[in-house]
Amino acid sequence: MTPIEDRGWQRIKVSREGRILTLTLSNPGLRNAVDPRMHEELSEIFYAANDDRDSDVVVLTGEGNAFCAGGDINWFRRALAGEDHVPGVMEAKKIIFGLLDLEKPIVAKVRGPAVGLGCTIALFCDTIIAADTAVFIDPHVKVGIVAGDGGAVIWPHLIGHARAKEFLMTGDPVPAAEAWRMGLVNHVVPDAELDARVAAYAAKLAAGATLAIRYTKVSVNLGLKQLATTILDASIAYEMTTFATADHREAVAAFLDKRKPQFKGG
3-state secondary structure 134-182: CEEECCHHHHCCCCCCCHHHHHHHHHCHHHHHHHHHHCCCEEHHHHHHC
What is the C-alpha separation between 44 and 21, in angstroms, rounded? 15
Domains in the chain, number: 1
Model confidence pLDDT, tens digit, residues 40-86: 999 999 999 999 999 999 999 999 999 999 999 899 899 888 898 88
Q: How many CB atoms lie within 10 A of CB 253?
A: 14
Model confidence pLDDT, tens digit, residues 183-235: 999 999 999 999 999 999 999 999 999 999 999 999 999 999 999 999 999 99
265 inside domain: no
200 inside domain: no
**pTM for this predicted structure:** 0.96
What pLDDT does residue 1 have? Answer: 77
264 inside domain: no
262 inside domain: no
217 inside domain: yes
Q: Which helix (H) or strand (E) holds 113?
A: strand 113-115
187 inside domain: yes
- Looking at residues 5-17, what average pLDDT do you find? 96
Q: How many CB atoms lie within 10 A of CB 134?
A: 29
Domain of 156, CATH number, reads 3.90.226.10
- Taking phi over 0 as left and psi of -120 to 50 as alpha, with beta for the rest, 97 belongs to alpha
263 inside domain: no
Q: How far is CA 74 from its chain centroid? A: 19
Cα radius of gyration rounded to whole Å, the chain: 18
Q: Which helix (H) or strand (E) holds 218?
A: helix 210-242
Q: Phi/psi at 259 (nearest 5 deg)?
A: -135, 170
What pLDDT does residue 87 have? Answer: 83
- 86: containing domain: 4-193+206-257
96 inside domain: yes
- Scanning 15-116, the segments in alpha helix (DSSP H) are 36-51, 73-80, 89-101
